[in-house]
Structure 1
Amino acid sequence: MAALTVDTAVAAVRGAAAQAAAAKARAASAAGAGSVRFEALAKTYQSATGAVRALEDIDLEIPAGRIYGIIGRSGAGKSSLLRTINRLERPTSGRVLVDGQDIGRFDEDALVELRRRIGMIFQHFNLLSAKTVRENVALPLVVAGVPKRQIAERVDEVLALVGLEGKHNVYPSRLSGGQKQRVGIARALVHKPEILLCDEATSALDPETTLSILKLLRDINRSLGLTIVLITHEMSVIREICETVLVLEQGRIAEEGPVWQVFGAPKHDATRALLQPLSRDIPEDIAARLVPQPVAGGETVLELHYTGGESGGPDLSRLASVLGTSVRLLHGTIDRIQGHAQGTLLVAARGVSEDDLATLGGHVGSARILGHVATDV
């Protein structure tokens, strides 16, 4: 009888601890939480050839409600960093704080609650082929012991949210790649998380489907207010959806900032390399005609680069007033990112001097003379 009393007491203590952890988690979520902070984070893996340093000196904060992108080349440490947020990876040193709580101190009960507050979607969907859409989405709630009626209601809600009404009883083999990812997103949202982690979520999709999934994620962020943290190796994905971007290089922070700022004026070689696929070279027909010395009766070709920090973006009337009314636009690639116009213009004008370039001042991020051409270009 005494042993039974001790066991009962231990169970009661554990139950109280679990309830306290759950209450604390719910309170954090109710406060509109979803912030993540890394403090002096490092991660080292042991291999047959020795220690491999995957992350080092990671110190940054992801504010609640933000769409935050992490990019880097293969082996940069993106996945390792992402998986520390829900403690699928335990840091070797340093701390990860979710809603101000050091998750490294969580016991198993608190860790279960944490992972219900953090949804995750994957590159290859991770759906169970023998289960229907409804069953795949419902699985986290079934495991949590949620009553059947509540499960049915919640599954209907999230399938409608991701645009899969009428697909409840369909098996994954009958779905397109985009539909499979929508099922994965619905499953990740079924616990009403405050943070959504996206592990290369669009890498297996074609460009058109990628855009539709990114639009869905943006809509979810706006309607639900949850924090989205995504990793990718594609700068086009960062440009399309993220507000802030972190560039990782060999496990360290290369640079971080608003997407328009990092795209417009990259500071690190790794960032410039990642942006290279988005840049366009000088058109071949123009490049073939360029010569280093002025041509009699010809024009000077200028490359004008806009970083996004210029007031109002490209001002064509200003260009005409500085370079002369005969200024001609030869080629242009101007994007708008987060309300900032950035990109490059190639223009041709006569009688351009270095003083003219300086006069452009804050209206152009940078300007340089590429060469000279005859006027028939």
Structure 2
Amino acid sequence: MPSIPSLSSSRRLAVASLLATIACGPKGGTEAPDSGNGVTLPPEAKADAETKADAETKADTEAKADTEAKAEPAEPAGKVPEGSIALGTFNLEWAYDAIPDKRPSKAQPNVPKTDEVWEWKRNHIVDILAQERLDIVVLTELGGEREISDIVTEITVKDGYDYRYAWVEGEDRLTGQQVAILSRFPIDEERRDEETSVGKHLAADIELPDGQMITVVAVHLKEGRFKGAVEARQREARSVQRFVRKLRRKHPVIIAGTFGSSSLPGDADYKESAPGTLATKGCTDSASKSSARQTSVDGQPVDRIIVCDMELQDAQTAGRDRIVRGDVDPDEPWPTIPADEGAQRDVSDHVVLWAQVAVPAKKEEGSGEGEADDEDGE
């Protein structure tokens, strides 16, 4: 049999089969154009062979593409139903790496001495965030951008979400602690308010899957129960509230982080407290849900999520079984507590707080929220 020109395997098989069946020449004695190998094929046979070969080649290509698509790892399933987002906050308790930077004196006891000690804490934080599958999460008590980047990278390695992050260096000279915002969704802009007297705060505009924008404000207000700390926290809350009023004129706003106050909706002092100052008209405090109140390992509601101009559908705490090891840690710097088998070192002195929030209905072009100007919270 004459040799077949270089073709794909599927086309070689098709042409070879036809050559075998027509080896005696074309029917009816009418010559067809030569195939180029000394074998004359009937025009209709040659066309059929090429059509069949093309179809088989296309099928092979589609099958290969389908196999490659299936091989790509799928993104983890969402935590909440479509039409809602899951937003959380997690105070990491002095999440500083071991690189010998010039840290403030108050931070020094909480800086790990070795990379292995930092990696222990980082890996536990990463495991928790990868498992929680939050669309957006505010982190407080971070050392800085180096630690943020380290955590985000490791979450991806653990098959968690491929987070973007927002960070602008804070101005807390006493502790050096920072706040950050992680988001599955695009971050349009990140910034601090120059008029706000809060050392640890950050705002980021985030684009939701339907194209709408929301603004997330991360805060870590002054903690403490003494009169001076309470007064300082109130000043900070009023400062943040003025900032939020301006932000709400453009987009719905969510404020999340460590508020430092245990006052709950319905308490006599709630309106004058930090969360009450921020939960103005059109806003809902996560602590309105009883399942979202024990945000520290000792059961205090010091972390909050305030949802403005959106519906707070649910709120609850999570991760305690992965954060608290044995009994609650003594009040000592975490790096000094052993992490051996049976030891008590906890991942943090806070648990994860998260909320299910309904995606807002789209506004008409040029419309404003209208609520932000009604109350100033002071």
Q: What TM-score do you get using the length of structure 1 for normalisation?
A: 0.27
Q: Highest relative contact order (Cα 8 Å, sep 6+), 1 or 2?
A: 1
Q: Which has the higher strand share?
A: 1
The structure having more radius of gyration, on CA atoms, is: 2
Q: Which has the higher helix share?
A: 1
